[in-house]
Amino acid sequence: MGNVVTRFAPSPTGHLHLGGARTAVFSWLLARHFGGKFFLRIEDTDLLRSRQEYTDSILASMRWLGLDWDGEPVYQTQRADLYNSYVDRLLASGHAYWCSCSPEEVEAMREEARQKGLKPRYNGHCRELGLGPGPGRCVRLKAPQSGKIVFDDLVKGRIAVDASELDDMVLRRADGMPTYNMAVVVDDHEMGVTHVLRGDDHVSNTPRQILIYEALGLPVPVFGHVPMILGKDRQKLSKRHGARAVIEYEQEGLLPQALVSYLARLGWSHGNQELFSQEELIKYFDGTHLNPASAAFDFDKLDWANAQFMRALPLLELAREVAPFVKAEGLIGDDARPEDLVPLCAMFRERASNLRELAQAFRPLLVKADGLEYVPKDADRHFTDAGKRHLGELAEIFRRLPDFDAGAIEAALNAYVADNGYKFKEVAPPVRTALMGFMGGSHLNEIMAFLGLSETLARFERAKTYCGS
């Protein structure tokens, strides 16, 4: 397929949420798969609810997700004249007409239809009157009154609607502003869009938009209407289900590639594969295998996906990703180098499912001995006389080691246990608690190698003077 052009058209009335992000992912993938273009359009015509800060936030989330777009975003509020020039074309070709009916009159027509058990609709009163422009007049499409509007939806398959179901829709309101469907058709045409992927809350607009394309004599793009994302209980997705705005996942320390992979899988499949790199998604996503059934958002699965991505990332990259979170925890300064976090990432990445958790796991090893927090239960239990004696003897041994590296530390620890006939499980807990403040963490030798000799000894010293919680 040559020249595939897609777009994402958010309304800036809130931050980018999961459903919107997934539509964006699909549209972006389709364009990237076929080497086409992906454009952004900001549908900001709802002046009361649209805000620049939401546009900025949506663009920031798109960048964070790695969904790069071509050219500059298009803003609908700047294009009213363009839309109206198309309305004028329709008037000139006889595909549209001026209507002088007042809102009350139109409401009365609707009521009349309802009374007859028909769909409420405008009755075509001005269709053949040949009215010109005038105050209070809108422009309506002269829609076909019979036949079917048929399209093959990429997701839902063939959709057919009777033309008789649709009335002569307004294209330009009495205040001179174009209507939503008019603007979308003009934009998609002007932007060269070949494939429209959007939420299926818009599926009822599509036959109307097709009528406008046809009236203008323009090629109709391919449509794909993606079903809503639901909660696990099949109810409308909300905060209650762990659903948040994309920006909140960023703040929580999800990796964008994990969120993209998870969202793509939500409503699309490639065999049984669960996790996809960006390259794989681009390679496999061709607009087929889109699931017409609503997918359920599963926070645990997203968490799992993120943990997998964290494990697969090269350590230095993970260190770069986690560094801002470690700074935010106040554990390192602005001048800290991500390289220094590599050993910590190696030790703790299996134990965290997001970057914030990972950063928090570093805390015991990034504070000084006297700033280490003890979990009282563990300290009381392991800083016994025997425990403190082990710490004292190990301190002596460690002091004499020519090199204080992970290998030497492990050998010394093992020799201490074996030579004295101790059990590892009586020696390790006081050491671990002295180093970490609680019975958790990673391999003792790696922890000590990271801390270095003097910080290790300082922790042993402090534990030796512990006298109960």
| 125 or 283: CB nearest Zn ion | 125
199 near ligand GLU, judged by CB under 6 A: yes
Residues 121 and 107: their CA atoms lie apart, in Å, by 9
Minimum CB distance to Zn ion, residue 270 (Å): 52
What is each CA distance from 47 to 77, 202, 205, 240, in whole angstroms? 9, 20, 21, 29
Of 5-13, 226-234, 274-282, 316-324, the window that binds ligand GLU (rule: CB under 6 A) is 5-13
21 near Zn ion, judged by CB under 5 A: no
How does 114-132 read in b/e, with b if 16+ C-beta sit within 10 Å? Answer: eeeeeeebbbbebbeeeee
Minimum CB distance to ligand GLU, residue 9 (Å): 4
Residues 167 and 146: their CA atoms lie apart, in Å, by 11
Task: Exactly one of 236, 239, 368, 377 is catalytic; name it.
Answer: 239
43 near ligand GLU, judged by CB under 6 A: yes
Given 5, 184, 331, 345, the residue binding ligand GLU (CB under 6 A): 184
Given 33, 51, 89, 125, the residue binding Zn ion (CB under 5 A): 125
| 10 or 231: CB nearest ligand GLU | 10
Minimum CB distance to Zn ion, residue 105 (Å): 7
What is each CA distance from 292 to 222, 228, 267, in whole angstroms? 16, 10, 8
Q: Which does 101 bind (CB under 5 to 8 A by kind): ligand GLU, Zn ion, none?
A: Zn ion
| 9 or 210: CB nearest ligand GLU | 9
- Tokens standing for 170? 């307004």
- Tokens standing for 234? 């099949």
Q: Mask of contacts with ligand GLU, 125-164, x by CB under 6 A? A: ----------------------------------------
Q: Which residues contact 279 (CB under 8 A, 6 or more apart)?
A: none
| 199 or 440: CB nearest ligand GLU | 199
Q: Hey, CA dihedral for 4, 10, 15, 16, is it positive or negative? A: negative
Phi, psi angles (nearest 5°) of residue 62: -60, -45
**464 annotated active-site:** no
99 near Zn ion, judged by CB under 5 A: yes
Minimum CB distance to ligand GLU, residue 25 (Å): 14
Minimum CB distance to Zn ion, residue 122 (Å): 7
Given 4, 5, 10, 67, the residue binding ligand GLU (CB under 6 A): 10
CA–CA–CA angle 139, 43, 4 (5° rounding): 100
Chain centroid offset of residue 166 CA: 36
What separation, in Å, do the N-terminal and C-terminal C-alpha atoms of the chain show? 71
Active-site amino acid positions: 239
Residue ranges in contact with ligand GLU by CB under 6 A: 9-11, 43, 184, 198-199, 202
